[in-house]
């Protein structure tokens, strides 16, 4: 048996590091952060493609407890965000807790011992509670394309950028037109001899109001921290108001579509190309992308837009679903991530011996985005239906950390009152929560906007997005409602049966 800790956190991106800070602030130091890579940062470590930056302004896309007056741009680039997370690890004394190079292979609930057994690539642990912060954007998805394995050139995914691959003078194919691809295209277009973009569905793209944050502004935020907080509040408030259009009044988004059309018309003069680039679904149904350089890049003479998905590869010839062919030396997949089929779920075995993936075979679902029936003392940060279409995920992560802190306080209280205990979400509570979420989802733009997106699972159910404001989610996760949980005691415990369950009200 390996080392026992009170809490094991999986992942060291914003979610995992945030959880670690919160645990320390709650006075809990008996925890580890298991990270498969050799440094912290999660998606902001893995995505180092040229042009990688955040679409949410930096003063909002940062922890409320760790404001950074020195953000260099309104939308900071990946190197700055990654450096911010490294600083979080230092400033909050997280290094001693980090177990880098520890890939979690299996997590199994031991109903007798009331703890999780964790196998990692570098040894075993047991933990009273597991916080899974593996993130929805951690495992790249490359579609199964016939003939791809025989392509003679280089092939890589946007999140696994091959920095040794010189694109100068090459025929480059970019597959996909999501947030990653549209940042990559303008940066590599001047280098490539020819760039072919395989677009299955055109995105809506709004202008990007990115600028340097002046030295004066930064000085002000440093000298008077409340000005930074004010800036953050303003950015948050605007998005909080905007979300109502996505969740309640999708028809009002037509106006935003005109702005996106104008953004395209400014750069793309060829009406035929404009037609190919114009979406046929409501803006916001897929993530709204922001770029002021994407359309100008597509209008350059060395770029071809194939308005059809990549369907096959024959030697160095790429064949689209509509039969269009293009030659390439390098293929770059901007085809996204395994989101609705969260890969860690395959490795988690709950109280009745089934994996979380089996439990979620008809779609992910949790209680308040965090816990799952059958998986005691298990919590997901950025769990089902906690994603946002228009604001900062850090707000949602921090709300979930409030829930985590309260959960641990409840466990403490139960322990003091009656010996060791674990909590497990009641199936009825999970169902009630998801029914409410799915009911609200019905009128949102994500469900009614006429598109498919990675927000929807293979059954067409939206298991990723939160259909409300961040304030509502924060309120819903401020405290653990014990009526939504069963209390489990160890075998032979005086108050219960074997691994007995109590009802607490």
Contact residues toward ligand NAP (CB under 6 A) are 53-55, 137, 143, 158, 175-181, 183, 198, 200-201, 287, 309-310, 334-337, 454
Toward ligand NAP, which CB reaches closer, 199 or 469? 199
Q: Which CB atom, from 320 or from 480, has the smaller least distance to ligand NAP?
A: 320
Q: How far is 112 from 376, CA to CA, in rounded Å?
A: 12
Closer CB to ligand NAP, residue 116 or residue 204? Answer: 204
CB 466 within 8 Å of CB 473: yes
Written as six digits, the tokens of 251 are 């028809």
Beta-ladder partners of 304: 196
206/421 with CB nearer ligand NAP: 206
The two three-digit tokens of residue 312, written as one number: 């096959």
Q: What is the DSSP string of 364-407?
A: ---BTTTBBTTBTTEEETT-TT-B-SSS-HHHHHHHHHHHHHHH
Select 32 or 388, whichever has its Cβ closest to ligand NAP: 388
CB of 112 to ligand NAP, least distance (A): 41
R_g (Cα) of the chain, nearest Å: 24
Q: How far is the CB of 55 from ligand NAP (least distance, A)?
A: 3
Name the minimum Å distance from CB 209 to ligand NAP: 14
- 44 Rama class: left (phi>0) / alpha (psi -120 to 50) / beta: alpha
Closer CB to ligand NAP, residue 60 or residue 351? 60
Helix (H, G, I), strand (E, B) or coil at 173: strand
Residue 321 CB, nearest approach to ligand NAP (Å) = 8
Q: How far is the CB of 255 from ligand NAP (least distance, A)?
A: 23
C-beta of 181: minimal distance to ligand NAP in Å?
6
Give min distance, CB of 335 to ligand NAP, in A.
4
Nearer residue to ligand NAP within complex by CB, 227 or 324: 324
Taking the complex as a whole, how short is the minimal distance between the CB of residue 240 and ligand NAP, in angstroms?
A: 19
Give the shortest CB-103-to-ligand NAP separation in angstroms.
Answer: 22
Nearer to ligand NAP, 102 or 287 (CB): 287
Rounded CA-CA distance 236/306 in Å is: 37
How many alpha carbons fall within 13 Å on the CB side of residue 453?
Answer: 27
Q: What is the C-alpha to C-alpha distance for residues 128 and 405, in angstroms, rounded to an integer?
A: 14
Looking at the Cβ atoms of 118 and 388, the one nearer to ligand NAP is 388
Contact 277, 295 (CB under 8 A): yes
Distance of CA 361 to the CA centre of its chain: 20
3-state secondary structure 409-432: HHHHHHHHHHCCCEEEECHHHHHH
When the beta carbons of 35 and 55 are compared against ligand NAP, the nearer one is 55
Token couple for 69: 């007056």
State the Cα–Cα distance between residues 453 and 464, nearest whole angstrom: 10
Give which of 444, 339, 434, 460 is closest to 389, Cα–Cα.
444
Closest approach, Cβ 217 to ligand NAP, in A, equals 22
Q: How far apart are CA 160 and CA 88, in angstroms?
A: 24
Please state the closest distance from residue 53 (CB atom) to ligand NAP, in A.
6
| Nearer residue to ligand NAP within complex by CB, 55 or 486 | 55
Residue 503 CB, nearest approach to ligand NAP (Å): 40
Other beta carbons within 10 angstroms of residue 500's beta carbon come to 17
Smaller CB distance to ligand NAP: residue 107 or 206?
A: 206
Residue 84 neighbours by CB under 8 Å, 6+ apart: 62, 66, 68
Burial label for 169, CB within 10 Å (0-12, 13-18, 19+), is exposed
Nearest to 399 by CA among 445, 466, 446: 466
Residues 6+ apart with CB under 8 A from 178: 203, 287, 289, 334, 335, 336
Query: Between residues 294 and 485, which has the closer beta carbon with respect to ligand NAP?
Result: 294
Q: How far apart are CA 476 and CA 422, in angstroms?
A: 21
We find the least distance from the C-beta atom of residue 428 to ligand NAP, in angstroms, to be 32
């Amino acid at each position: 048996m390996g080392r026992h800790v009170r809490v094991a956190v999986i992942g060291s991106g914003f979610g995992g590091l945030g959880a670690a800070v919160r645990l320390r602030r709650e006075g809990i130091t008996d925890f580890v952060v298991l990270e498969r890579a050799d440094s912290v940062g999660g998606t902001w470590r893995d995505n180092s493609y040229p042009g990688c930056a955040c679409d949410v302004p930096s003063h909002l896309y940062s922890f409320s407890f760790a404001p950074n007056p020195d953000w260099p741009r309104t939308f900071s680039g990946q190197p700055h965000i990654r450096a911010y997370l490294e600083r979080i690890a230092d400033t909050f004394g997280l290094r001693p807790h980090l177990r880098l190079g520890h890939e979690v292979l299996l997590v199994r609930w031991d109903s007798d011992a009331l703890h999780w057994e964790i196998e990692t690539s570098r040894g075993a642990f047991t933990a009273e509670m597991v916080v899974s912060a593996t993130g929805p954007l951690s495992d790249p998805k490359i579609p199964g394309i016939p003939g791809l394995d025989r392509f003679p050139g280089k092939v890589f995914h946007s999140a696994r950028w091959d920095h040794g691959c010189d694109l100068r003078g090459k025929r480059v194919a970019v597959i996909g037109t999501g947030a990653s691809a549209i940042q990559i295209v303008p940066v590599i277009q001047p280098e490539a001899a020819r760039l072919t973009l395989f677009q299955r569905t055109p995105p809506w793209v709004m202008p990007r109001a990115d600028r340097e944050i002046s030295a004066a502004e930064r000085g002000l935020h440093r000298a008077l921290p409340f000005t930074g907080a004010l800036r953050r509040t303003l950015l948050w408030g605007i998005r909080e108001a905007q979300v109502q259009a996505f969740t309640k009044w999708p028809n009002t988004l037509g106006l935003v579509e005109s702005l996106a059309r104008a953004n395209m018309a400014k750069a793309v003069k060829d009406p035929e190309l404009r037609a190919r680039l114009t979406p046929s679904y409501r803006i916001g149904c897929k993530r709204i992308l922001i770029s002021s350089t994407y359309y100008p890049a597509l209008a350059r003479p060395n770029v071809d837009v194939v308005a059809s998905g990549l369907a096959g590869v024959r030697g160095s010839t790429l064949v689209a679903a509509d039969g269009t062919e293009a030659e390439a030396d390098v293929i770059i997949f901007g085809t996204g991530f395994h989101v609705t089929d969260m890969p860690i779920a395959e490795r988690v075995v709950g109280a009745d011996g089934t994996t979380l993936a089996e439990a979620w075979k008809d779609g992910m679902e949790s209680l308040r985005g965090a816990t799952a029936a059958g998986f005691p003392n298990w919590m997901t940060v950025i769990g089902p239906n906690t994603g946002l279409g228009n604001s900062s995920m850090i707000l949602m992560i921090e709300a979930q950390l409030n829930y985590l802190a309260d959960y641990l306080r409840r466990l403490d209280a139960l322990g003091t009152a009656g010996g060791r205990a674990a909590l497990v979400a009641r199936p009825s509570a999970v169902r009630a929560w998801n029914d409410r979420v799915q009911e609200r989802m019905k009128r949102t733009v994500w469900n009614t906007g006429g598109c498919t997106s990675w927000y929807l699972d293979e059954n067409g159910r939206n298991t990723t997005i939160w259909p409300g404001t961040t304030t509502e989610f924060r309120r819903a996760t401020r405290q653990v409602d014990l009526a939504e949980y069963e209390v489990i005691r160890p075998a032979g415990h005086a108050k219960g049966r074997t691994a007995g369950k109590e009802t607490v009200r």
